[in-house]
């Protein structure tokens, strides 16, 4: 069972207060009648009246409230299958997992910030297929194109620097690997989002970006890190942290290189963004939303049936019953006068 509006469950907290109020009102009225005369005498003087009918009305009203809250939370149970047409584009995310992405010049560090932004990005997708390529000195497909956003986020969460033995930042290889990961042979409806600090230690990435653009791939680049740079923390395995040094023993400083990423985006007919601000990165969603979509086929989806109508119907029946039960039995003449 699922609930469409579980936030309304808190309304049940008012039910004990409602019951308590009714009990208080009942006892107060009973005490007032006793001060006037004995209950036996009152029942003889006013036949057809009595507190028992009020109790029944109160119980019916409390049950009405109980079932009304159930209707408000929209219970869903019982599975139905339906065909859902999907339109969207194919998106490959290429994520830099080189050691330089461990730098902490952007909180909490470059790789974690990139994963955080990507996770939010996936949450905002609607019908687009998403895939993941990770790279350092070499690249590989971590998650093929899929509509299962939960699975894509699971693969993303598992990513960590050190997965690739060959260190470095081979941007050209990442672009080529990502281009090959697209299933469609059409020269549109394809987007590559490249996350990196821009430190390129491989072949000419702009040439790879130009070749990808010729295949219909639009490339957006997202810079991670600061231009002032930061050292690279490395774990020794026993909990201690050391900072990477070069062969001469000097501390290695890694700096974000936006120029390389800007050139890649220009050749890829896309745009460059920076992951440092939510407002900047979120513009990618706007850019993609404006792109032409293509049919991605129809999928059979299982959904839970809405069942709130059952409980709403029960609640209305209880309310009607409460309305038509009088506090005292009326004569035929009194009933006739009530509806005329």
Q: Do the Cβ atoms of 222 and 273 come closer than 8 Å?
A: yes
In the three-class reduction of DSSP (H, G, I as helix; E, B as strand; rest coil), residue 96 is classed as strand
Q: In the structure encoding, which two tokens stand for residue 260, read together?
A: 């390389």
**Res. 5: pLDDT tops 80:** yes
More confident residue, 59 or 301: 59
Q: Which residue is listed with tokens 């560090």?
A: 109
Alpha carbons 291 and 144: distance in angstroms, whole number: 22
Q: Kindly list the domain boundaries of the chain, sorted by start residue.
A: 2-78+305-338, 90-292
Is 21 within 8 Å of 15 (Cβ atoms)?
Answer: no
Given a cut of 70, whether residue 280 has pLDDT beyond it is no
pLDDT of residue 151: 95
Second CATH level (architecture) for the domain 90-292: 3-Layer(aba) Sandwich (3.40)
CA dist., res. 283 & res. 279, Å (int)? 7
- How far apart are alpha carbons 262 and 228 in whole angstroms? 18
Is pLDDT larger for residue 74 or for residue 298?
A: 74
Give the range with max mean pLDDT: 30-44, 89-103, 266-280, 297-311. 89-103
Helix (H) or strand (E) holding 2: strand 2-3
pLDDT > 50? residue 237: yes
248-228-111 Cα angle (round to 5): 85
335: confidence class by pLDDT, cuts 50, 70, 90: very low
pLDDT at 89 over 70: yes
Which of 79-83, 200-204, 259-263 is least confident?
Answer: 200-204
Nearest to 134 by CA among 179, 161, 97: 97
- Round to whole Å and give the CA distance between 307 and 304: 9
Query: Which pTM does this prediction carry?
Result: 0.64
Tell me, what's the pLDDT at 292? Answer: 83
Higher per-residue pLDDT: 97 or 293: 97
| Residue 331 reports pLDDT greater than 60 | no
Confidence of residue 45 (pLDDT cuts 50, 70, 90): low
Determine the pLDDT at residue 286: 86
Does the pLDDT value for residue 288 go beyond 70?
A: yes
């Amino acid at each position: 069972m699922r609930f469409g509006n579980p936030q309304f469950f808190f309304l049940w907290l008012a039910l004990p207060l409602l019951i308590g109020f009714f009990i208080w009102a009942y006892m107060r009225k009973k005490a007032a009648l006793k001060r006037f005369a004995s209950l036996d005498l009152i029942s003889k003087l006013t036949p057809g009246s009595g507190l028992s009918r009020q109790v029944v009305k109160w119980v019916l009203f409390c049950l009405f409230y109980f079932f009304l809250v159930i209707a408000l939370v929209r219970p869903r149970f019982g599975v139905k299958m339906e065909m859902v047409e999907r339109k969207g584009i194919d998106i490959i995310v290429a994520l830099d997992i080189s050691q330089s992405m461990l730098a902490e010049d952007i909180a909490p560090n470059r790789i974690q910030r990139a994963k955080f932004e990507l996770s939010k990005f996936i949450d905002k997708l609607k019908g687009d297929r998403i895939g993941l390529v990770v790279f350092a000195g070499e690249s590989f497909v971590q998650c093929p194109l899929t509509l299962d956003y939960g699975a894509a986020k699971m693969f993303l969460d598992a990513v960590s620097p050190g997965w690739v033995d060959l260190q470095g930042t081979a941007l050209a290889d990442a672009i080529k690997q990502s281009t090959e990961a697209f299933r469609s042979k059409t020269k549109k409806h394809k987007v590559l989002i490249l996350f990196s600090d821009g430190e390129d230690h491989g072949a000419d990435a702009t040439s790879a970006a130009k070749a990808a653009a010729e295949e219909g791939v639009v490339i957006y680049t997202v810079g991670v890190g600061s231009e002032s740079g930061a050292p690279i923390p490395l774990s020794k395995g026993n909990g201690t942290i050391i900072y990477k040094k070069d062969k001469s023993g000097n501390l290695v400083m890694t700096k974000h290189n936006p120029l390389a990423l800007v050139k890649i985006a220009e050749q890829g007919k896309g745009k460059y963004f920076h992951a440092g601000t939510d407002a900047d990165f979120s513009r990618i969603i706007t850019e993609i939303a404006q792109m032409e979509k293509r049919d991605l086929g129809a999928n059979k989806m299982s959904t839970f049936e809405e069942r709130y109508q059952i409980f709403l119907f029960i609640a209305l029946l209880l309310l009607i019953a409460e309305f038509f039960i009088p506090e005292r039995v009326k004569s035929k003449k009194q009933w006739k006068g009530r509806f005329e």
